[in-house]
Structure 1
Amino acid sequence: MTDHVQPSRPGSDGTATAAGDGESVYRPHHYTARRPPEAGGEPAGTLTLPAVQSVLDGLPGSVTFLLPVFDADGEVTDFHIAAASPDALDIGARRGKELIGLSVAGTYPTVVGSPLWEGYLGALKTGVRWEGEPFEYEEVLAGIPRLSRFAVRASASLGGLVVSWVRLDSGEREQRRLAVMQRLGGMGWADWDLVRNTITWSDETYTIFDRDRAAGPMTLEELTAYVLPEDLPELSAAVERLLGSCRPVDHTFRLTTAGGEVRHMRVVAEAESDVHGHPVEVHGFFQDLTATKRAQAQLLESQQAALAHRSQLTAERDVAERLQHALLPLTHQSLTLAGLTVDVAYHPLQEGLNVGGDWYSAIKLPDGSALLVIGDVAGHGLDAVATMAQLRFTAKGMAITGMPLPAILTRLNTLLLHTAERSFSTATMIMAHYDPATSKLTWVQAGHPPPLLLRRGGAEYLTPPAGILLGAVPAPRYEAASMHLRPGDQLLLYTDGLIEKPREDLDTSLARLAGAAVRSAADRGGLDGILNALVDPVTRRDDVCALHVSLRSPAAPGPAVSASAVS
C-alpha cells in the first residue's frame, strides 16, 4: 500500500489543516502523515515529522522536506521547510535544523515563479521526480549580493516534497579563497612531479618571482641561477635533504628577479615517497618576505638610532648633574644669615634623562644684609642648567654692587633676550633683600609663585609687585614691594614643582601648600614637614626647590650651625 497524505489548506490560526477524509496537518513543529483508513478499521500506519526528521538525519548532503501551503482555491502559494538533513545549507549560511519552519516564498522570494518553483509544483502535482538544470541564485544578505550555482532534485512523498540541493560552486569558492589568501600572505604554491619531471605553479608564485607566465615555472637549475651566491650553499643543502631523505624544509634565501630586484624568499616544502622511500612528488609554497625584512631592518635602524640618542642624553644628563651639583651646594643644617635662620631644599626630578633649571641663593652682602633668591628656568638639560648659571651669578654680582632689585631684573631680562648662543628660553624668579637693622624685607618678582608668610599660627601669600617672567618681552616693568618681618615670622620661597599636581588648579594648589605649612609650623616641623606633606616622589613631574626663612623669637634657641651664605 502506498503512503498517502491529503493536501493541506490554511486554517483560521494560520496553520495548514487537512482537506478530505485523510489527515494531514502542518503547524510549526507538528505534522502527521497517515495512510488512508482501511474499510471498517483504524489507519494502518502513521508517519510523524520526528520520524521524517530521523530519516533525514541519516542522509548525507543537503536534503529538506517541504510541505505545500494552499490558498482558498487550492493553489500552492508557498512551501514550508518541515525537516532538514544536518548538512542542509542555504545561501544565508543557515544549516540543518535552523532551516525548519522557514517559508520558501518568504525567505527566498526570487525563487517564486522561477523554473525551480515550477519544478517543485510539477513534481508535487504529477509525482514524477524533477531534476532541474544547474542554475545561479543570487541573494542579498547584509547588503552584500551573493551568487551561487546549484543543481536541485525534487520528489513527491508523503504529501510534500523531498528536495536535495547540490552546490556546484564550492570548489570555485575555495579556489577564490585560496587565491586571496596567497595574495594577502605573499605566498604561492608549487608542485613538482619527480616521476614526470613536471612543475606546476600557482598564479601568485609567478607574481612573487616576477616571472612571465608564458615562460612557465622555473626548473631547479633556473632557480639556482637567480639565488644570491652567498645563499646558494645552504639552499642547495636544504634541497638535498628534501630529495635525499624526504625531510621537510623551511628555508629562507635571497634571489634577484628578472627585473633586478633583490627579494627575500622563504620556501616550505615536503616530499611524498613511494613504497621504497624514494621521493616521487614535492609539494610546498614560496613566500615573499621582502617587505617584512625591510620593516625589520628599518626597525633595527630606528632602535640603534634610539640607543645612540639615549646614550647621548645620558651623557648630557651626567654632565648637567655634575654642573648642577657644583652650582647648588646643599647643606643639611640650618644656616644663620643676617639674623635669619635659613633652610634650603632641592629635590631634582629623577625620572627620565632631563635635569631642570631650578636654583636658589642665600648670601650675606658686604653691608651685612642678606640676599635671598629663588628661580626656575623653563626647560631641562644642559641649556637650562647653563642659563640658570648665567642668571644666578649675574644676579649675585649685581646685588653685591648695591644695584636696586628692579634694575637687576631688567638687566637679567636683557641678558636672557640677547644671549646669542642660547635657544629661546624664559625664567621666573624672586629676589629679596633683608636689612637686619630695620627688619625690612624688600622683594621683586618675575612671574614667580608668591612667597608664603607664616605669622601667629596663620598663613598668607604676599601680594606680588608688578613683574613679568624674564625673557618674554623686550621692555618689561618691574616694581618692588616691602614689609617688616616680626620675631617668629616664617617666609617660604619655592618653585612651582612644590605645588603642581595633575588636574589641580593653581588656587587649590596654593591652598594645599598654605595648609601644610600651617600644620608644619604648629608641629615645629619646619621645611621638612612641608616637604613631607606635599612632595610625592611617585606623582611629581618637576624639580622642587625651596628656601625657608625664619626670624627667631628672642626666647627661641639659635641654629646648630652659623654660616654666611649658601650660594
Structure 2
Amino acid sequence: MTDRELPSVPQTRGGGFDTETGASAFSSTRYLPRRDRVEKSVPALPAVSMPAVQEVLDALPGSATFLLPVYGARGEVTDFRITAASPDAVDVGARKGRELVGLSVRETYPSVVGSELWQGYLTALDTGLRYESEPFDYEEVVAGVSRRSRLAVRAASCHAGLIVSWVSMDDAERDQRRLRAMQRLARMGWADWDLVRNAVTWSDEVYAVFDRDPALGPMALEELPGHVVAEDLPALGESVRLLLGDGAPIDHTFRVTGSQGQVRHVRIVAEADVDLHGTPVEVHGFFQDLTALKQAQEQLLEHERAAVAHRSLLEAERDLAARLQHALLPLPQQSLSLAGLTVDVAYQPLQEGLNVGGDWYSAIELSDGSALLVVGDVAGHGLDAVATMAQLRFTAKGMAITGTPLPQILARLNTLLLHGSERNFSTATMVMARYEPDSSRFTWVQAGHLPPLLVRDGEARFLTAPHGVLLGAVPTPRYDSASVQLLPGDQLLLYTDGLVEEPGEDITDGLARLSRTAEACSGDARVLDGILGTLVSPDVRRDDICVLHVGLTPA
C-alpha cells in the first residue's frame, strides 16, 4: 500500500463534534520532526478494526484513548484523531468517554503540535517504545472559561496507532492537601508500625501532637511510656498489651509531657493486622491532640460549678426575700375576723414576680377590743417604694397600738416622710379607720386618699372625706376625722387607686364604675372576688391594687 492508499480518517470531526476549542491542555515545548521521515513513502500497515479497539478500551479503567495518525502528502504525521475511548476517559474540557471519539488533536488541543508531548507521540509511533511524560501543567479555554490541570501522559504504539492514557495529578494532590488539612484542623496524625521489621512511620502531624522534633524520627510503641504522665501509665500499658498481644483494637486517652514541660492530652486509636496464627504483624492507627478539648471541658465544668453555686446563692437569697416579704409586706390574700367584723383582703402588686409594691394594708385588733383598718399607697414601685411603705405601715401600727389619735398618727407620718434621714422625696396617700364594736362606730381619717365606699341595703355611696392632704406634701398639714354608725349587714370597701383608675379617664368615672359593681356584687357570698373579677384585667392593669372588704355581721 502506498501512502495514498493508507486507511484514512476524515479530517473534519465526525458526529457533530465542535472543532472550535481553546488552547491546548498539554505542554507547548517545541519539537522538530525527524528529517529521515521527510520525502519517504509510508510503509504498508495492517487495517485496524475500530470496534475491536473500542471493546478493549471499554474494559479499561481510567482515561485512555486510541489515536490514529493522519499523514500529509509527503508521509509526515500532521495530526492524530481519537477513534476510540474508555468509558471513564475525561479531558480537562470535561469531555467524557464517547464524546472524545472523532476529536482531532490538532484542532482540539492545538498547542500539542510541536510540543514535547507531540514528539513523544511520534517517537512511540516510530520506534514502538512506550513514552511516559513527566507531570506538566495544562490549560484549556472552553466556552470562555479557563480550566487548568496537571497531567501525566503515557503513549504506546498499537496497530498503527497509539494507545494514550493519562492521569490527572490534581485529584491526588487535592486529596493529599485535604488529608493534611483535616489532620491539621483535627490535630490528628496517622501512624503505622511494622512489627516484623520493627519499622515505624508517622505523618507530619503526629510530631506536632507529641511536640517532637521530626529529626528524631518516630517513636516505637515501646518508647511511648517514657513520655506518659506516671498516673496514666498502668491503663495505657494494659491497652498496648492487649493491642500487641491479642490484636484487640484500642481507643485510649492519656497525658504526655511536651518538650517544654507542658502536659498534653493525647488519644490513640489503633488496630492490628494479624497473621494466620493470630499474631499481630502490623498496627495502624492515629494520634489526636485533645488538649484544647479537655481544657474546654474543664472550663465548662468550672462554669457549671459556678452556675450551681450561683444558683444556690440565688435560692438562698430568694428564700431570704420570701421571709422578708412575710415580715414586711401584707399577705396577698386573707380573711380575718376582727371585733365583730369580717375582713377580706386582696393585695396584688404590679410586679407579680417580685411581689413588691407601694400599696399596703393593715388589719389588726387593738388591745381595747377595737379594730384598726389601714390602706395606703406610696408613690412609685419596687424596693424604694417598699422601704417607704414598711416605715409607714409599722410606724402607724405602733402608734395606733399605743392609743395615739388617728389625726396625730397622720401628722407624725407626714413628719417622718419630710425629715427622714434617708429622704427620697416619696409621697403617700392613706386611709386609716378604727371600729369600736361596743358603739358600732367607724371613725376614719385620710391623707389625700380615695374615700371608703359604704354599701347598705344594696345601695352604694362614698363617705364624705374629712380634711387631709397626702403625706410628705407640706410641712404643717391639717388632718381631721369623720365617723359613721355601721348597721348590721353594712359593707365597706377601703381600696387604692389601682382598682378604679384607667389611663385617660376621669377618676369620677372609675369611682362610679366601682359603685355600680359593688351594688351588683353585694349579695354574693364572696363580694370581693366578684368586684375584682369585674374591674381588674391582669393584662392591662398598670398599678398596684389593695382592697379591704369589711362586713358587719347581720343581726
Please tell me the TM-score bracket, short chain as reference. Answer: 0.5 to 0.7
Indicate the SS of the match to 2:241: helix
> Which residue pairs with 2:298 in the alignment?
297
Distance 1:193 1:437, change over 3 A: closer
> Which residue pairs with 1:262 in the alignment?
263
> Which residue pairs with 1:332 in the alignment?
334
For residue 443 of structure 1, what is the amino acid of its counterpart? G
Q: 1:410 aligns with which of 418, 440, 455?
A: 418
Kept in 1, the 8 Å contact 2:494–2:548? The answer is yes
Distance 1:308 1:284, change over 3 A: same
Distance 1:198 1:318, change over 3 A: same
Q: 1:345 aligns with which of 341, 344, 347?
A: 347
Cα deviation for residue 344 of structure 1 reads 2.3
Indicate the SS of the match to 1:415: coil
Distance 1:372 1:272, change over 3 A: same
CA distance in 2, matches of 1:286, 1:402: 82
Cα deviation for residue 115 of structure 1 reads 3.5
CA distance in 1, matches of 2:444, 2:188: 87
Indicate the SS of the match to 2:418: helix
Task: Give ranges in structure 1 of 5+ residues lacking alignment.
Answer: 9-15, 17-23, 29-46, 67-80, 106-110, 156-160, 418-426, 445-449, 458-464, 500-504, 553-557, 563-567
Distance 1:437 1:321, change over 3 A: closer
For residue 493 of structure 1, what is the amino acid of its counterpart? T
Distance 1:246 1:340, change over 3 A: closer
Using structure 1 for the length normalisation, give the TM-score: 0.58
> Which residue pairs with 1:44 in the alignment?
none
CA distance in 1, matches of 2:177, 2:511: 74
CA distance in 2, matches of 1:165, 1:255: 47
CA distance in 1, matches of 2:172, 2:476: 87
Q: 1:493 aligns with which of 496, 511, 518?
A: 496
Kept in 2, the 8 Å contact 1:243–1:271? The answer is yes
Indicate the SS of the match to 2:496: strand
Kept in 1, the 8 Å contact 2:349–2:543? The answer is yes
Distance 1:359 1:165, change over 3 A: farther
> Which residue pairs with 1:60 in the alignment?
61
> Which residue pairs with 2:245 in the alignment?
244
Cα deviation for residue 224 of structure 1 reads 1.1
Indicate the SS of the match to 2:219: coil
> Which residue pairs with 2:377 in the alignment?
374
> Which residue pairs with 1:41 in the alignment?
none
Distance 1:415 1:181, change over 3 A: same
Kept in 1, the 8 Å contact 2:341–2:552? The answer is no
Kept in 1, the 8 Å contact 2:358–2:379? The answer is yes
| Percent of paired sites with the same residue | 42
Indicate the SS of the match to 2:278: coil
After the TM superposition, which of the residue ranges 244-253 and 403-412 deviates more from structure 2? 403-412
For residue 547 of structure 2, what is the amino acid of its counterpart? H
Could you say what the CA RMSD is over the residues aligned between the two structures, in angstroms?
6.5
Aligned length: 454
> Which residue pairs with 1:183 in the alignment?
184
Cα deviation for residue 215 of structure 1 reads 1.1
Q: 2:448 aligns with which of 443, 459, 465?
A: 443
Q: Structure 1, residues 52-88: CA drift from partner, whole Å, max 9, x if none?
A: 999987652246899xxxxxxxxxxxxxx99986645
Using structure 2 for the length normalisation, give the TM-score: 0.59
CA distance in 1, matches of 2:84, 2:338: 101
Kept in 1, the 8 Å contact 2:190–2:285? The answer is yes
CA distance in 1, matches of 2:334, 2:296: 54
Q: Structure 1, residues 504-540: CA drift from partner, whole Å, max 9, x if none?
A: x9779x9xx999979965852754346557676xx99
> Which residue pairs with 2:16 in the alignment?
26
CA distance in 1, matches of 2:7, 2:516: 101
Kept in 2, the 8 Å contact 1:338–1:370? The answer is no
Distance 1:407 1:282, change over 3 A: same
Cα deviation for residue 270 of structure 1 reads 0.9
Kept in 1, the 8 Å contact 2:392–2:413? The answer is no
CA distance in 2, matches of 1:517, 1:54: 102
